[in-house]
């Protein structure tokens, strides 16, 4: 039913209504002279800045740098979270062994790690990947653990009775049963990765979307700042849509 509602011109019109309203109100304030150039750009100025950055190559360069960083940190976090999440879920002693450290590290925001990341890795790409990793790893880990722990215990009991190898148990029961929760964690983790890359690039960077935001603030250019914000939002949505598409293809039983 949900998929049917997402088809047709009615859905499309409803989907774009709010963005159109925002643009109309934005331009209305500009025409009324309420927008100050040093606080909020007009749509024309924003378009002009976008064309300028596209023509001089900075738009693609900054986007590509940030996207690559996000993907590197995210996939590193994904592999780590899945491995540790499975171990914690399936081996109670390992859960007890790691719980205190994980619970202490989990509430620390990625931005708090920036000083240590710079001391450990310098101001190069490694420190930014580390910050993205920190931002993405815990949502994926927590959803992996929750997904495994919500699987009906009868399946584990049957696997024990029939002496099913642990590898088969993980492949045929654990992963399919936990996959919906894992996919949710992956989406949250990817969103956090974008938040983290912006924070990391605003400190000690010369390229990237975060650098655009910092540079725009330094130059008192709100058009550059808003362009950077829109790039984060647009590419974050594109990646999230890709994950939703993959979720529908992989999890066919929901």
| Strand ranges in 3-82 using DSSP code E only, listed in sequence order | none
Cα–chain center distance at 88: 24
Q: pLDDT tens, 85-128?
A: 999 998 999 999 999 999 999 999 999 999 999 899 988 889 99
For the chain, how are helix, strand and coil distributed in percent, rounded to 5?
Answer: 80, 0, 20
pLDDT at 1: 46
CATH number at 39-250: 1.10.3720.10
Q: Measured over all CA atoms, what is the biggest interatomic distance in the chain, rounded to whole angstroms?
A: 76
pTM of the model: 0.87
Q: pLDDT by residue (tens digit) across 218-238?
A: 889 999 999 999 999 999 999
Q: Which helix (H) or strand (E) holds 122?
A: none
Q: How far apart are CA 196 and CA 70, in angstroms?
A: 9
Residue 12 burial class via C-beta count within 10 angstroms: exposed 0-12, middle 13-18, buried 19 and up = exposed
């Amino acid at each position: 039913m949900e998929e049917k509602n997402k088809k047709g011109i009615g859905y499309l019109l409803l989907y774009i209504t709010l963005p159109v309203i925002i643009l109309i109100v934005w331009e209305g304030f500009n025409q009324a002279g309420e927008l100050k150039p040093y606080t909020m750009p007009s749509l024309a100025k924003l378009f002009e800045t976008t064309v300028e950055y596209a023509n001089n190559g900075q738009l693609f360069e900054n986007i590509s740098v940030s996207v690559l960083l996000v993907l590197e940190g995210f996939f590193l976090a994904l592999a780590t979270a899945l491995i540790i999440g499975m171990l914690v879920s399936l081996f109670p002693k390992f859960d007890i062994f790691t719980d205190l450290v994980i619970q202490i590290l989990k509430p620390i925001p990625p931005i708090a790690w920036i000083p240590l990341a710079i001391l450990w890795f310098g101001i190069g790409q490694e420190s930014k990947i580390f910050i993205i990793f920190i931002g993405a790893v815990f949502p994926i880990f927590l959803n992996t653990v929750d997904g495994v722990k919500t699987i009906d215990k009868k399946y584990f009991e049957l696997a024990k009775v029939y002496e099913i190898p642990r590898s088969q148990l993980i492949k045929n029961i654990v992963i399919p049963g936990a996959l919906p929760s894992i996919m949710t964690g992956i989406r949250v983790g990817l969103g956090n990765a974008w938040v983290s890359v912006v924070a990391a690039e605003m400190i000690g960077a010369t390229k990237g979307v975060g650098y655009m935001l910092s540079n725009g603030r330094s130059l008192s250019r709100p058009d550059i700042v808003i362009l950077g914000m829109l790039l984060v939002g647009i590419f974050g949505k594109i990646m999230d849509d890709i994950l939703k598409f993959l979720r529908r293809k992989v999890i066919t039983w929901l």
